[in-house]
C-alpha cells in the first residue's frame, strides 16, 4: 500500500502548509482591501436624500410581501443546501485515514477561526467596510425609508450597531456559504495528502488507485462547492433587487438605477466566488499533478504510465470543459441577474 507522506509530521499538518488555510479566505480579504478606497475612512455610504418616492399603498405592501416570500424561500433553500454540503464534506473528512484526517481537521479549525475573526471585525466595523456597505446597507436604507409593514429594520438602524431581522436574512446565507467553503478547503487539503514520495518502489497498481481516488474526490468537491457558490450568487442577486419593485419604474428612474446596481453587485460577487473556487482547489490539484509528473519521470514503463495519467489525471477534453464550466458557473450567474429579476417579477 502507498506510504503516507505525512509520516514526517505527527500532527498531519507540517509547517510548510501553515499558510494554506488562508487561500479560501484570500479572495474575500483582498476584496475588502481593494474596494476600501471607494469610500473615505469612517464615511457612511448613504445614497438617499429627501423626497424619494415609492409606489403607493397598498401596492407597496403587496409587492414587498411577495418579494420577501420569494427571498425567504430562496435563503432557506440556500442555507439548507450549505448545511447538506457541510455535512457531506464532514462525513468525507472523518472517513479520511489517520494523519490525513487530522491534518484536514486542523486546516478546518484554522479556517473557522479566521471566519469568526472576520465576522467579529465586520460586526464592529460594518459602517467602514465597503463590502458591507454595498452588499447590505445600500439595500437596508431603501427598505427602511419605504415605511413597510414588516418589522425588518427598526427606524434608523441601518447604520447603527444593532442586529435587525434584515441583518439575519442577509448574513445567515452569506456565512453559510463561507462555512461550506471552509469544509470544502479542509477536505481538499486532506485529499491531497498520503501519496508515496517520488521514486517510491511501492506497488504501481496501488499508487494508481490512490491517485485516481484523490482526483475523483477533488472533482466531486469542486462540483459541490460550485453549486453552493452559484446558489450564493442567486441569493445575493435577489436580495439586492428587493427594493426595485417598491420604486416607480421608468427610464432614468431610481428603480432603474437600483436595478443596475443590483446587477453590478451580483456580477462582482459571482467573479469573487469564481476566484474563491479556484483558490480553494488550486493548491491540492497542483500537489497531485506534481506527484503524478514526479512519478512519471521515475517510472520505467513511462509510456504506459503516461497513457494512464492522460486518461485518469490529465483528463479528456470533455472532463476538462466540464471542470472549466463548473469553475466559471458563479461568474456566469452574475450577468444573468437581469434575466432572473424579470423572471421572478421583481
- Convert the pLDDT of each residue in 131-179 to its tens digit: 676 777 778 888 888 888 777 777 666 766 667 788 888 888 888 998 9
Q: For the chain, how big is the Rg over CA atoms in Å?
A: 24
- Between helix 59-95 and helix 98-124 the angle, nearest 10°, is 150
pTM above 0.75, yes or no: yes
Rounded to an integer, what distance in angstroms lies between the CA atom of residue 128 and that of residue 200?
Answer: 54
- DSSP-based three-state secondary structure for 114: helix
pLDDT of residue 39: 65
Rounded to an integer, what distance in angstroms lies between the CA atom of residue 115 and that of residue 288?
Answer: 27
In order of 54, 158, 345, the CA distances from 46 in angstroms are: 17, 10, 27
Label residues 4-39 b or e (16+ Cβ within 10 Å = b). Answer: bbbeebeebbeeebeebbebbbebbeebbeeeeeeb
In the chain the first and final C-alpha atoms are separated, in Å, by 58
**Residue 249 φ then ψ, to 5°:** -85, 165
Q: Which of 219, 192, 189, 197 is nearest to 315 (CA)?
A: 219
Label residues 198-233 b or e (16+ Cβ within 10 Å = b). Answer: eebeeebeebbebbeebbebbbebbebbbbbbbbbb
pLDDT of residue 208: 75
334, 264 in Cβ contact below 8 A? no
Q: What is the pLDDT of residues 288-337, one digit of tens each?
A: 877 777 665 565 556 666 666 666 666 644 565 566 566 666 666 555 55
Does 58 sit behind a cis peptide bond, omega within 30 degrees of 0 on the bond before it? yes
pLDDT of residue 344: 47
Instruction: For residue 218, give the C-alpha cell.
Output: 477533488
pLDDT by residue for the chain (346 residues), tens only, comes to 334 444 444 456 888 888 889 888 888 888 877 777 776 655 555 656 556 788 888 888 888 888 889 999 999 999 999 999 999 999 999 999 888 899 999 999 999 998 888 878 777 766 666 667 677 777 888 888 888 877 777 766 676 666 778 888 888 888 899 899 999 999 999 988 877 654 554 567 777 778 778 888 888 898 899 889 889 888 988 898 888 888 887 756 788 888 888 888 888 888 888 888 888 988 888 888 777 776 655 655 566 666 666 666 666 445 655 665 666 666 665 555 554 554 444 4
Amino acid at each position: 500500500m502507498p506510504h503516507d507522506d505525512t509520516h514526517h509530521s505527527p500532527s498531519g499538518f507540517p509547517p510548510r502548509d501553515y499558510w494554506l488555510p488562508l487561500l479560501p479566505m484570500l479572495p474575500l480579504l483582498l476584496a475588502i482591501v481593494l474596494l476600501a478606497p471607494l469610500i473615505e475612512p469612517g464615511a457612511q455610504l448613504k445614497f438617499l436624500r429627501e423626497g424619494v418616492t415609492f409606489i403607493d399603498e397598498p401596492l407597496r405592501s403587496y409587492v414587498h410581501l411577495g418579494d420577501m416570500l420569494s427571498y425567504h424561500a430562496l435563503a432557506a433553500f440556500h442555507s439548507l443546501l450549505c448545511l447538506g454540503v457541510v455535512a457531506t464534506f464532514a462525513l468525507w473528512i472523518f472517513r479520511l485515514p489517520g494523519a490525513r484526517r487530522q491534518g484536514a481537521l486542523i486546516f478546518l479549525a484554522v479556517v473557522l477561526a479566521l471566519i469568526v475573526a472576520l465576522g467579529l471585525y465586520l460586526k464592529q466595523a460594518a459602517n467602514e467596510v465597503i463590502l458591507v456597505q454595498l452588499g447590505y446597507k445600500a439595500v437596508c436604507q431603501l427598505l427602511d425609508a419605504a415605511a413597510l409593514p414588516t418589522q425588518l429594520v427598526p427606524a434608523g438602524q441601518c447604520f447603527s450597531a444593532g442586529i435587525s431581522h434584515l441583518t439575519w436574512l442577509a448574513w445567515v446565507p452569506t456565512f453559510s456559504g463561507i462555512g461550506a467553503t471552509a469544509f470544502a478547503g479542509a477536505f481538499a487539503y486532506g485529499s491531497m495528502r498520503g501519496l508515496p514520495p517520488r521514486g517510491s518502489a511501492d506497488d504501481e497498481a496501488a499508487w494508481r488507485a490512490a491517485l485516481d481516488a484523490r482526483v475523483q474526490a477533488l472533482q466531486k468537491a469542486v462540483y459541490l462547492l460550485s453549486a453552493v457558490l452559484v446558489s450564493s450568487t442567486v441569493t445575493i442577486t435577489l436580495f439586492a433587487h428587493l427594493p426595485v419593485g417598491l420604486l416607480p419604474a421608468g427610464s432614468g428612474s431610481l428603480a432603474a438605477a437600483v436595478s443596475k446596481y443590483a446587477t453590478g453587485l451580483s456580477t462582482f460577487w459571482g467573479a469573487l466566488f469564481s476566484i474563491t473556487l479556484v483558490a480553494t482547489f488550486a493548491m491540492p490539484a497542483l500537489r497531485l499533478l506534481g506527484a503524478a509528473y514526479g512519478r512519471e519521470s521515475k517510472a520505467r514503463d513511462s509510456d504506459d504510465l503516461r497513457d494512464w495519467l492522460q486518461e485518469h489525471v490529465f483528463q479528456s477534453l470533455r472532463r476538462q470543459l466540464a471542470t472549466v464550466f463548473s469553475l466559471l458557473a458563479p461568474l456566469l450567474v452574475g450577468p444573468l441577474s437581469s434575466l432572473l429579476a424579470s423572471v421572478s417579477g421583481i
